[in-house]
Every structure is written in C-alpha cells, then in structure tokens.
Amino acid sequence: MQLSRLGPALALMGLLGAPAWCQDNSTPVAVISLVWGQVTVKHEQADYKPARWLEPIYPGDFVKTSGAGSKLLITFFNDNHQEVVGTDIEATVAPEALKPLKGGKVRRDGARNPFGAGGVDNPFVYTRKLVADDFKGADAPGLYEAEEAYLKAAVNSSFPPSFAWPAQSGAQSYHLQVKAPSLQFSWAKTVAGTRYKMSQDEANAISKGATYQWQVSAGSTPVVAAYPFKSLTLPLEKWLKEQRNDFNGKRSKKQLQRSDYTDYLLVCSQLTRMDEAITLCQEMAAMDANNPRVFRALTRVYLGKGCPAHAKKAHETQLQLGGYDPIGL
C-alpha cells in the first residue's frame, strides 16, 4: 500500500520532509501526565512550544514552566515514577529522570511500578513506531464496519482466561484459537456460544507472564481479529487489580484527573490490556478532541487490537490536528 493513501496530510508531509523536531531514531522515556498554566517543551533541534497532555518525552528534551501557578507532571516509563516541575523551572530530560537547570528543584515521587523496568513490557501506546505494514488492507471495502464487531470482543486474562465475542448471524458454532508462535503453542476449541472460559487443565498449558494471541472465526468469517493478551502472574494480577480499583474508585467519586487516565493507560499498555486501553483512549479523545497526542495513542491501541481501518482514521485525525507521527517502511 502506498503511504500517500494514508491521507492527504501524510502525503504532503512526505513531500515537505520531516519536521525538525521529530525523534524518528529515538524512543520516548516519559509522558506528560498533566499541565497547569504556561508550560513549554523543546524537542531536539526545535523551539519551545506549548506542552500537551500525553505528549511523549525523549532524552535530551527540555521542559520549562513560566509564570504563577505553572506546573508540569511527567511520568517516566522505567518504573512509573512521577516528577513535578514547579513554577519557573527549566529542566532537561535524562533516560530515567529530569535534571534541573534553572529555577529550583524538581520533586521526584517514588516508583509506582513494584516490578522495576524488567517486570513489565515496554508501554507500546507511547513508544511503538508505525510502519507501512501496520495499515495494510486498511482501505478494504467493509473492513471499518467489520472492525466495529471486532471491537466488541474482550478477553479476561486472569487465571483461567475467559473470552467473549459478538454473535455472528447464522453461525452454529465458533472456532476459538489461542496461539503463541514464539512459544510454539497453539490451542483451539469449537464453541457453541459466544463465551468461553478455559478449564484449569487448559489454562495450565499457558505460561504465566507470557503474551498470547487469540482470535475467533465462524467458518471462513473472522469474528475477532487476532490480538494479544498477557497471561498475568499473581503479582502482576494483584498490581492490575489495585490500579483498576484506584481508578474506578476515583471515577465513582468524580475525582478523576487527566493524570489518572495517563497512569491507568500506562498500566494497561504495559500489561497488554487492549480492551481497557481502547475504552480509556476513546474517553480521552472525547475529553480532549483537539489534542493530536490523544489520537496518537488511539492509533496504537486500534492497531494492537487488529483494527487497521480504525487506526488509519485515528492517525489521519492526528495529522489534521497538527500532530506528527511518521510511518516507516
């Protein structure tokens, strides 16, 4: 598929060349969780510009707060710790922390990921780079509508895993498959209904902490596009439950802030919770419909759930809002 088919904005960007500030060869190490007042960020070889919620932060970037009441909250991926940049402070970004340059100290809170950098996956929602193959087939007739059904499927990866999917008109049974090519693992089951929970014996064949893909078909018709889930260890499951309860508790009390969405999205991304990540990103897009960084995240969670047509639309929206998100070959 030609890159120009991803939208006029992307085609124009290909002609003009990449903006000077892009970090094509770097990976973000943190994300902006919350902004108060006048806060700016400077990427490599670029001028300072207003900081935005969910903006990825790279090593070598600079951040600056200016004026009364200005403050910035940044979350680092290495251990999910947060750093608060108070009023009239300038700092530069190192791989695992900020380094103050002018105006005072930066407050660093404790690590909130109890497993360290080696205990969870890289947060793909923020760090994944796009390639042309991600959008292969995105323009196929009827695919966007078919993906609406895919998006209704869900997996609960708590032991033993359970799966649910939308009914297919006329289907008498469904073919459920769980596989992990890297582990040479493949399991399949013919199911009469639209839900299935693995038995203890079936689930015992799945390695804790490993990532698998699941998919469902009715005859030759895809019902759920293949997408991944992580089989959680008991400590990871406990951590997820704590984070979910905290988020939902704040929601019930109407105390959720944008930083809470950032935090829980980071956890869902690290633990490959695609279904929850999509719900969060859709809510965030409704909250901040003109923020290209939200649609950057939404592009990646749609791709993660095997929905390239939805991902393409989110990516085009991001570009229309002035975002920059290059697609490699």
Instruction: Quick: pLDDT tens for 66-103.
Output: 999 999 999 999 899 999 999 999 999 999 999 999 99
CA distances to 67, 154, 236, 256 from 206, in Å: 54, 18, 16, 36
As a whole number, mean pLDDT of residues 114-139 equals: 88
Where does the chain hold its CATH 2.60.40.10 domain(s)? 159-230
Q: What is the pLDDT of residues 128-162, one digit of tens each?
A: 999 999 999 999 999 999 999 999 999 999 889 99
Question: CATH class for domain 159-230?
Answer: mainly beta
Distance between CA atoms of 204 and 101, rounded to whole angstroms? 53
Query: pTM to 2 decimals?
Result: 0.89
Amino acid identity for residue 26 in this structure: S
- Identity of residue 147: E
Mean pLDDT of the chain: 90
The per-residue pLDDT for 118 is 62
Specify the DSSP class assigned to residue 3: G
pLDDT of residue 36: 96
